[in-house]
Amino acid sequence: MQQEATQTASRNLVMDIPVSLSVELGQTQMEIREVLGLGAGSVIELHKLQEEPVDVRINGRLIARGEVVLVNNSLAVKITELLNG
């Protein structure tokens, strides 16, 4: 009983610590001249198919995969797989 209370208290201590969550849609490689040529309306082609899952990362660490969905005219990510590790 004491151990459970200690674990709960320890968990509560970290619940309000901010973390950086990012969703990676894809990647590409470009030369600097291509990057400098980008402007409004430029399209950057990613090396990922439309139906492939996106990676969800916390502080750079991969924690889940999901799919991009539309919610109230905003993009969102629906988690489809939680990763261990």
pLDDT in tens, 13-35: 888 899 999 999 889 999 999 99
Order of strands, edge to edge, in the sheet holding 54-58? 21-24, 54-58, 61-71, 74-82
Check which CATH number belongs to the domain holding 24 and give it: 2.30.330.10
Q: Is residue 61 part of a domain?
A: yes
pLDDT of res. 55: 94
Taking only the tens place, the pLDDT of each residue in 42-60 is 999 988 888 889 999 999 9
pLDDT level of residue 10 (50, 70, 90 thresholds): confident
14 occurs within a structural domain: no
Q: Which domain holds residue 65?
A: 19-82
Q: How far is CA 42 from the centre of its chain?
A: 23
Q: What is the pLDDT of residues 55-83, one digit of tens each?
A: 999 999 999 999 999 999 999 999 999 99
Residue 9 lies in a domain: no
CB 83, CB 57: distance < 8 Å: no
Q: Which DSSP helix (H) or strand (E) runs through 47?
A: none
46 within some domain: yes
* Contacts of residue 77, Cβ cutoff 8 Å, sequence gap at least 6: 23, 54, 56, 66, 67, 68, 69
Would you say residue 1 lies in a domain? no
